[in-house]
């Protein structure tokens, strides 16, 4: 199970990053003996609802054209995006 929280980047030297969580997490870190974190960098840009509607309309057109279901096309697109950006091993 994971806990999601936001944090502020206080310092970054190109290799090491110091962040301060927006809410207390020490209790959870101790209780669950957390050793790893997942980091998502948010640049503040998000899809608008109009862009989202257009994206799904295009995916729907692709599904109609290919004879696949909308779900199959979405899974395929997600698989492509994951394989395009594989996770690098740290060690």
* Residue 44: predicted pLDDT: 77
pTM passes above 0.75: no
Categorize the per-residue pLDDT at 1 as very low, low, confident or very high, splitting at 50, 70 and 90. low
- The secondary structure of 9-35 as a DSSP string is EEEE-SS-EEEEESS--HHHHHHHT--
Cβ-contact 11, 18 below 8 angstroms: yes
What contacts 20, CB < 8 A, 6 or more positions away? 7, 8, 10
Q: Which residue has the higher pLDDT, 88 or 54?
A: 54
* Residue 53: predicted pLDDT: 92
Of 48, 50, 75, the closest CA to residue 62 belongs to: 75
Tens digits of per-residue pLDDT, 15-63?
A: 999 999 988 888 888 888 888 888 888 777 888 889 989 999 999 999 9
Spatial separation of the C-alpha atoms in residues 38 and 16, rounded to whole Å? 15
């Amino acid at each position: 199970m994971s806990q999601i929280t936001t944090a502020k980047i206080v310092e970054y030297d190109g290799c090491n990053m110091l962040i301060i969580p927006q809410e207390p997490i020490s209790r959870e870190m101790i209780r669950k003996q957390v050793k790893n974190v997942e980091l998502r960098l948010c640049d503040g840009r998000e899809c608008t609802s109009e862009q989202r509607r257009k994206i799904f309309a295009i995916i729907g057109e692709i599904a109609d054209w290919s004879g696949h279901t909308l779900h199959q096309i979405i899974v395929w697109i997600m698989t492509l995006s994951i394989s395009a950006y594989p996770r690098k091993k740290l060690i």
